[in-house]
Amino acid sequence: MAFLLPKPPRGAYVLEREDKRSKIEKAEDEAKRRAKARDLFSCRWPEAHKCRGLLEGAHIFRDKGMGGDHGTVSDTWNLMALCAWMHRKGPVSIHGKQIKVEAETEDGADGPCAFYRKDERDEWVCVGVEIAVGVLRKN
């Protein structure tokens, strides 16, 4: 004889999903705050530019993608403080895929990084390399 389990209360699944999403968003916000603090609350892009928009915690090496963040990609190793212009709003941006950042160590954005921009021939050109977080190597 099979035993029937009682149905969960109406809306229980929705409440559970909202609670899980809230915890993930809170953890992501905290990681972005730590990344901005690590970067001294300024845009880390090395080239001179006029920062436009707010300072954002940009996912650098692994994007959240269409599936969202399931608590796996929003940590300081994958986040960098960039102004909204360099992150996603400008004509040349990370989201536009005209600029990119590569880690110089296994620490990701918690360590020194190299910064690249596409030139007129659509080739990547290095515009700066850090020796420590936020400290550019002099050429």
- pLDDT (tens digit per residue) in 44-91: 999 999 888 899 999 998 776 655 566 667 889 999 999 999 999 999
Q: In the predicted model, is pLDDT for residue 139 greater than 70?
A: no
The per-residue b/e assignment along 71-100, b for 16 or more CB within 10 angstroms, e otherwise, is eebbbbbbbbbbbbbbbeebeebbeeebbe
* φ and ψ at residue 70, rounded to 5 degrees: -105, 35
For position 67, what pLDDT does the model report? 57
What pTM was estimated for this model as a whole?
0.83
Q: In the predicted model, is pLDDT for residue 8 greater than 90?
A: no
- pLDDT (tens digit per residue) in 23-33: 988 999 999 99
